[in-house]
Amino acid sequence: MSLRLGEYAVEQIKAKLQANMPSRIAAINTDATLPLIDPLLSDQHSYYTSGLQSIPATPALIIAEGPASFAEEGSHTLKLDPIEIGVWILESDPDRQVLGKRLQRQARAVIESLWDSPPQESLDSKAYRIFPTRTQPGRTFDVDQNDNYRGFYLTLFNVEQIEE
């Protein structure tokens, strides 16, 4: 296992999200009974891969490596267990109830983009498996200067290298 798996996975997740989120959001938005999701920009202004000094404009995704565990496999050999990658979704809306629905729909688009888009259940042809493990509603912030509430929603994925 490569000790660079987390760094590699974050960049591959970002690329896969940029490639697949627009079509997933368009498909979800065809359901007229639920609030629309604004499309994410495909450039760098909607996708972040490290800590931020301030909350960016919405909608936005923040992709970061979580904790990794190691096990001793042999003499001077480490085995890297699957790592967690978190995708934080940031959305806004003047109505807190609509904001909650928008966050849920963005989480659905993230999961479908990473897990169900080709290559399914993996990041690339090098056999890096990705699997959604849980979602976690986050904090809702008070109304900002645009009279919108902003909130986070976290989706966690396990990433493992299944072939060397």
pLDDT tens-place string over residues 40-53: 655 667 888 877 77
Residue 77 tokens read as: 């050999």
* Of 28, 60, 59, 56, nearest in space to 47 by CA: 60
Q: Is the confidence at residue 1, as pLDDT, over 60?
A: no
Q: Which residue's structure tokens are 């042809």?
A: 125
The residue with tokens 């806004």 is 92
| Average pLDDT over every residue of 122-132 | 80
Query: How do residues 60-102 score in pLDDT, each as one tens digit?
Result: 899 998 876 766 666 666 666 678 999 999 988 888 888 888 8
Q: What is the pLDDT of residue 50?
A: 75
Per-residue pLDDT at 80: 64
* Separation in Å, CA 48 to CA 62, 71, 113: 5, 30, 16
Residue 111 near residue 153 (C-beta atoms within 8 A): no
Lowest-pLDDT choice from 6-15, 105-114, 118-127 = 118-127
Band of residue 124 on the pLDDT scale cut at 50, 70, 90: confident
Of residues 35, 75, 79, 83, the one with CA closest to residue 59: 35
Report the share of the chain in percent with pLDDT over 90.
Answer: 26
Report the C-alpha gap between 126 and 95 in whole angstroms: 43
* Cα 69–Cα 70–Cα 71 angle in degrees, nearest 5: 130
- Average pLDDT, whole number, for the chain? 82
More confident of the two residues 134 and 4:
134
Look up residue 99 and give its two tokens: 């904001």
CA nearest to 153, candidates 141, 138, 132:
138
Omega cis (within 30) before 94: no
Dist CA 103 CA 116 (whole Å): 19
Residues 16-33 have a mean pLDDT of 89
Please report which confidence band the pLDDT of residue 14 belongs to, taking 50, 70 and 90 as the band edges. Answer: very high
* Comparison of pLDDT for 127 and 157, the residue scoring more: 157
Q: At what angle do helices 5-28 and 96-111 cross, to 10 degrees?
A: 120
- Whether CATH 3.30.70 fits 5-161: yes
